[in-house]
Amino acid sequence: MLIDTRPQTVEIVNVAVVEKKHGSGLGKQLICHAIETARSMRYKTIELGTGNSSVGQLALYQKCGFRIVGVDRDFFTIHYDEPISV
C-alpha cells in the first residue's frame, strides 16, 4: 500500500474496499493506518492519486487531510496499455 517514490516521499496506492462496505469507515481506517505507518517510517511527504471523476475517493482523501495540488491530464491513457474498467 506504500511505495517509496522519492527521498522522504511515499505514495499510498491500491486502496480498495469492496462496494458493499462503502460508507462503513473502512476506507478511512486504511488511509489513516497508511499515514501512521508512513509517519513511523519518518517520511516527510505522503502522496496519493486518483482519477478526477472519482468523487467519492476525492472526498475521502480530503476528509483524511489530503488536498488537491495538481492534475495529470490523460494519466491513465498514457501509462496503461489496457483500458481501465470498473
For residue 38, what is the enclosing H or E element? Answer: helix 26-40
pLDDT score at 83: 73
Contacts of 52 (CB under 8 A, 6+ apart): 58, 71
Task: Dump pLDDT digits (tens) for 6-47.
Answer: 999 999 998 999 999 999 999 999 999 999 999 999 999 999
Amino acid identity for residue 2 in this structure = L
Rounded CA-CA distance 3/31 in Å is 14
pLDDT score at 74: 83
Q: Please state whether beta strands 9-12 and 2-6 pair in parallel, antiparallel, or not at all (unpaired).
A: antiparallel
Tell me the angle at which helices 26-40 and 55-63 cross, rounded to the nearest 10 degrees.
50
Domains and CATH numbers, the chain: 2-79 (3.40.630.30)
